A = this chain, B = another copy of it.
Amino acid sequence: MLNLLKNDKMFEIKRKDGLARLGEFTTPHGTVETPAIMPVINPNRELVPVKKLEKEFGTQVLITNSYILYKDQELKDKSLDRGIHDLLGFQGSIMTDSGTFQAHVYGDIDVEAEEILEFQRNIGSDVITILDEFTEPDDSRETAEEKVQKTIERAEHALRSKEDQISLTALPIQGSIYLDLRKRCGKSMGEIKGDLYPIGGVVPLMEDYRFHELAEVIIASKKGLGPRGPVHLFGAGHPMLYSLAVLLGCDLFDSSSYAKYAKRGDMMYPEGTKNIEDIDHLGCECPVCSSYDAEEIRESYKKNDIELLAEHNLWTCFREMNKIKQSIKEGSLWEMVERRVRSHPKLLETLKVLNQEYRFLERFEPRSRRRASLYTGQESIYRPTFKRIKRWILNDYIPPKKGPTVYFEPDQSKKPYSRFFREEIDMIEDYDANLLVSTQIGPVPFEMDEIYPIAQSVFPSHPANIFSLRHYKRKKKIDELIRWEGKSTLDILSKSKGPNFDEMKIKATADYQFGEGAGSALTDGTLKYVKNNKGRIKNVKLDQNHILSVRHYDGFFTLKKTGAEILLNHFSPPDLRIEVTEESAEFNRDGKSVFSKFVTHMSSDLRHGDEAIVVTENDELVATARVLLIKDEVKVFDRGLAAGVRVGFNLNENTST
């Protein structure tokens, strides 16, 4: 049973938003919902009783320091004798740290790597941590490199005897601020296959508000490690950091900060820290703050009783983590992060790091979301959702006609604009003109105005556009735009036999969704559409065959059989494809989901939620499907669903469903 847990199903992802994930991490003592906070328990001084943590805070996992236990003969004997769960009085999951942090603080510690590992195993810790080498931000590259090497060797050594062990093993990722070292270390740890991956050596960065370097370090570590998890951000105890760290793929946080801050009279808030000396109004309704006022908490602090402060701090941490979970569920974590980082200017800087890391972050960004995207300020232009469409329009979009570009400037409250401008569009579509519309994102080819995020975003009336008209004109080499001034504008245009507006819409959408050329391939023949009563295209037929349906919530297509065949024909493998074993194909043809472990190959361009085509290794059409795991994830996760099949196609069936 434990072996099964250890090797098969320790970390399962339930929901994703960017690199963030709602997951379940299973240890010998139960399942931990992630992202989660692991309160740090000092066995010498229990600030908040463990029973309270369990019952009131709903804590599923604790962390304690094995080195402190080991160095105190009495505690050592007791924990060996009774086991760590009995000692702490906690039957949930317990992780132990190895003494690395003590080595960072005191310069050196007095224990061997194997010794402390063995001790952790012997006291029955659920997750044991190898004694890694703490890389300091000001370590020279050589020093950092040596420490990384030593840490990797220890990890290899520790895992050698893993099979016999019940405990799970945490393999920390070190590397100081050298991003290639972080990446290399992450990659090695992933290959060694730990059960949990702490990102270590980051406390000094947090203490000095070097948050942009922290973000770089997390991203580099994740790049190396891949989507494996859970990832633990060692020593990150301030709630103002949580949402950013979760967005970047951290799943676990240990917090001794709640106690450390309490000791100096500090109350944590998601927007920062305030000292109890300066507080008149608590502005919190946690169980502590709704039972005591600021004066009472201050008095108790003055009497050296810091339990109230410690509990408030923990409540703040737990509440913040709950808000984050809800945001992942809603798909609004990017917005939450963009708001939270404004609690400190140095934290705000991290948005520039996210901007620089667009290429990496974009892989985890769905092409559409169920929920409208809300602009939170000028820094929202860095958000992958907006940046992706900007890049496509500026770099990849090819205007369908040869003639001039006519520019529409609609009332921004009337989205989607093309339905309000239907009459004008009907007039102009027979002319040789490309249509451009001013949106709050920027100037957008008019035929794209109904797809995510153009129609599905909320902006102020006059935001700084994500990109400018000047930018568009330069990229598309347009010298002059013709502004739409009503019917008279037609006088300066010439008639054209080019595609009408609906066809332009289908082409542009298909090119954006499936890749360049998809639009031409899918419209090469006699096109017909069914529209709903609002005039919106519902279904597309080509030469009598139903090839595409339009998703009402984001304007993208779902593929019908013939549509899938056309695309298979047009794009070479692995584009658009999830390639599965013959064994899997049989099930998938019956409409059953695609399991990760049967995927033999997959396009790296597919994103979570994308429409994909399931094929055999001989590139035979098996099914249309909705992507659940991207290629990086499929490579790592043996268990779990890679895609949900929409329609499976049996070999001897000829009709599309």
Contacts and interface: CB of A to CB of B under 8 A. Distances in A.
Contacts of A315: 285, 290
Interface residues of A, number: 50
A232 interface: no
A305 interface: no
A379 to B, nearest CB: 6
Interface stretch (A346-354, A392-400, A550-558): A346-354
Given A285-B315, A285-B319, A375 B345 contact: yes
A142 to B, nearest CB: 26
A657 interface: no
A653 interface: no
Nearest to A269: B323
A56 B290 CA distance: 8
Given A342-B342, A378-B379, A348 B282 contact: no
A481 interface: no
A283 interface: yes
Contacts of A330: 274, 278
A271 B378 CA distance: 18
Tally of this chain's copies: 2
A154 interface: no
Contacts of A379: 377-378
A402 interface: no
B283 A323 contact: yes
Interface string A321-355: 01111100110000010110011111011001000
A212 B462 CA distance: 12
Interface stretch (A169-177, A453-461, A634-642): A453-461
A207 to B, nearest CB: 15
A323 B316 CA distance: 14
A111 interface: no
A281 interface: yes
Nearest to A338: B342
Interface in A267-285: 271, 274, 278-285
Interface in A108-140: none
Interface in A461-486: 461-464
Identify the 6 closest CB pairs spanning chains A and B, nearest first: A283-B323, A378-B378, A281-B326, A285-B286, A283-B322, A281-B325
Given A345-B375, A377-B379, A378-B379, 8 more contacts: A271-B339, A281-B329, A282-B322, A339-B342, A345-B374, A345-B460, A346-B460, A348-B375
